[in-house]
Amino acid sequence: MVSIRSLLFITLIGLTACSRNPVTGKREVVFMSKEQEIALGQQSHPSVVSTMGLYDDKKLQDFINQKGKAMAQISHRPDLPYQFYIVDSPVVNAFAVPGGYVYFTRGIMAHFNNEAEFAGVLGHEIGHITARHSARQQSTQLFGTAGLILGSVLLDKTGQLTEAAAQGLQLALLGYSRSHETESDGIGVEYSSKIGYDAHQMANFFGTIKRIQDNSGQAIPQFQSTHPDPGNRLTRVNELATDYQRKNPGNYQANRDSYLRMIDGIVFGEDPKQGFVENNQFYHPELRFQFPVPAGWTHQNSPAQFQMGPKDGQSAMILMLANGKSLEEAAQNLVKELGLTVQENTRTTINGNPALVLISQQQAPQQQTGQQPQDPKTRLQIGTWLIQYNNAVYALHGLAQAANFSNRYDAFRQVAGGFKALSDPDKINRQPERVRIKAAPRAGTFREVMTALGMPATRMEELGTLNSMKADDPVQRGMLVKTVSR
């Protein structure tokens, strides 16, 4: 007799597509059709744009479109509707969403030192799509957990992002398995080589990634613990490039100078118009407000929200625009969208601005049969300050587990209490730093050339990472190098 468990499993398999992977050639069970992949990309794209913003640079956009389409044509899945974008973020990152959507941050574009480095990463990201890593990852998760769990308490729940789109975006941004990353490295070598680039330069960029990681003391978002160590990847990609070129002799290009001239003027680091942190204060020149950032807290900014928190990871604060024209409407929408149980509700003013303070907890999810109820102490507790300012309502959320919330509340309250109008002309008119491409005025070491170009000694390691050079590396007179200035 067939058991109910076996019958369910057989039915599940019968409802899925057992198809041949276009890259590996192996047959595999995949829960996501080509049409579903395309739909996920289309649905996820608006959320990527609203969260990160697009970087407006026609020559760079034309470049990635040209190279992206050329690579798509020689890929294992040339029939997908590929689209390529530069997002307005200083983070050194690239990622792909199912269905053919590939994104590069302006931060990673600034750190490439030739076209071949870009092409290698482009091939890596297209490789995630052609090898169907998101679909394969989703299938693995479905077998293991019978569904995906999206855990972000402040995930967009306004209806703009469907559950399917959220899954696609989550799969893209949470990182793939080490085996998928290794497979994509190999695909990147193949694809970038096929359109004429020296894949050894892709290996060199992993050296840049490792340097950024070492200098920051932690991995950057796209190269998390799920990724193989960048130093190991450098060695392996060099070996793959050597093997490919041995089997396929040709004239493989790097195109350093043309790439550097193309990125001349790209915004480097935080763009002040989106907000910036200085002397433990967050300033937003365009929206004309400021508030304190506690000493020692880390922070991350994007067009959609500003996040910060202590390094212990036990609490966080998030600033975002509230959904509502009045404090009351914003509060009602917040409670509904996040599924909150309000414990306190207090009207006040903050530096002359009407405000509403909510203390709430997430409603516990409905327990499945046999599951232990959630411990109330581990439930997320949120202190929210809704502040009406300049015809908008802003929400400052302080988040911590219920057991730790009272210990964190004073810090949350002091931040919210420091929200006020920004009037300092120096902050309002602050211009961004930009990468400036200069010809070396003399021969010498990298340090000597940077000094001759007026770069401060305190930024030598940062500039060295940006140029993929060490302080004592030789530079010839007239060689193009990156500097940074406002």
At the second CATH level, the architecture of 272-366+374-428 is: 3-Layer(aba) Sandwich (3.40)
16: confidence class by pLDDT, cuts 50, 70, 90:
very low
Report the pLDDT value the prediction gives residue 349, as an integer from 0 to 100.
97
In sequence order, which ranges of 19-57 are alpha helices (DSSP H)?
34-52
Higher-confidence position of 160 and 35: 35
DSSP-assigned letter for residue 425: H
pLDDT band at 255 (very low <50, low <70, confident <90, very high): very high
Contact by Cβ (8 Å): 414, 292? yes
pLDDT at 194 over 80: yes
Q: What's the rounded Cα separation, in Å, for the pair 295 and 292?
A: 9
5, 147, 378 from 369: Cα distances, Å: 17, 17, 20
CA distance 113 to 206: 12
Give the C-alpha separation, 385 to 387, whole Å. Answer: 6
**Residue 166, helix vs strand vs coil:** helix
Residue 367: its pLDDT value, please? 43
Strands 276-278 and 380-389: unpaired
Instruction: Give the C-alpha separation, 353 to 357, whole Å.
Output: 13
Residue 160 has pLDDT above 90, yes or no: no
Whole-number pLDDT of residue 17: 42
User: What would the two tokens of residue 101 be?
Assistant: 């959507």
How far apart CA 42 and CA 46 sit, in angstroms, is 8
Tell me which DSSP letter residue 222 carries.
G
User: What is the spatial distance between Cα 389 and Cα 145, in angstroms, rounded to a whole number?
Assistant: 44
Determine the average pLDDT of the residues in 351-363: 93
The band of 225, judged by pLDDT with boundaries at 50, 70 and 90, is very low
Supply the pLDDT for residue 41: 84
pLDDT of residue 217: 57
CB 117 within 8 A of CB 198: no
Q: Choose the most confident range, by mean pLDDT, from 114-118, 131-135, 294-298, 319-323.
A: 114-118
Query: Within 10 A of 357 (CB to CB), how many other CB atoms are there?
Result: 19
pLDDT one-digit tens code per residue, 398-449: 999 999 999 999 999 999 999 999 999 999 999 999 999 999 999 999 999 9
Average pLDDT, the chain: 83
**Long-range contact list for 238-241, CB < 8 A, 24+ apart?**
238/200, 238/203, 240/185, 240/186, 240/189, 240/199, 241/189, 241/193, 241/198, 241/199, 241/200, 241/202, 241/203
Give the mean model confidence (pLDDT) for residues 369-393. 79
User: Which residues, including other chains, have CB under 8 Å from residue 24's CB and lie 6 or more apart?
Assistant: 131, 183
**Amino acid at residue number 110:** A
Whole-angstrom CA distances from 270 to 193, 278, 313, 485 are 33, 11, 23, 13
Greater confidence (388 vs 174) lies with 388
Q: What is the pLDDT of residue 231?
A: 58
Q: Are 169 and 101 in contact (CB under 8 A)?
A: no
Q: C-alpha angle 164/319/317, rounded to 5°? A: 95
Mean pLDDT of all residues in 275-302: 94
Overall average pLDDT of the 250-258 stretch: 97
Mean pLDDT computed over 34-62: 89
Phi, psi at 5, each rounded to 5°: -60, -45
16 phi, psi to nearest 5 deg: -105, 165
pLDDT for the residue 1: 37
Query: Does residue 19 register a pLDDT over 70?
Result: no
Structure tokens at 374: 């959630």
**Cα–Cα distances in Å, from 49 out to 45, 46, 89, 229, 244?**
6, 5, 11, 30, 37
For residue 56, give every residue at least 6 positions away whose Cβ sits within 8 Å of its Cβ, in sequence order, or none. Answer: none
Per-residue model confidence (pLDDT) at position 158: 31
Secondary structure in 3-state letters for 240-295: HHHHHHHHCCCCCECCHHHHHHHHCCCEECCCHHHCEEECCEEEECCCCEEEECCC
Q: For residues 218 and 418, what is the distance between their CA atoms, to the nearest angstrom?
A: 30
| Mean per-residue pLDDT, 171-190 | 71
Mean pLDDT of 43-48: 88
pLDDT tens sequence across 68-87: 999 999 999 999 999 999 99
Question: What tokens does 289 get?
Answer: 């407000």
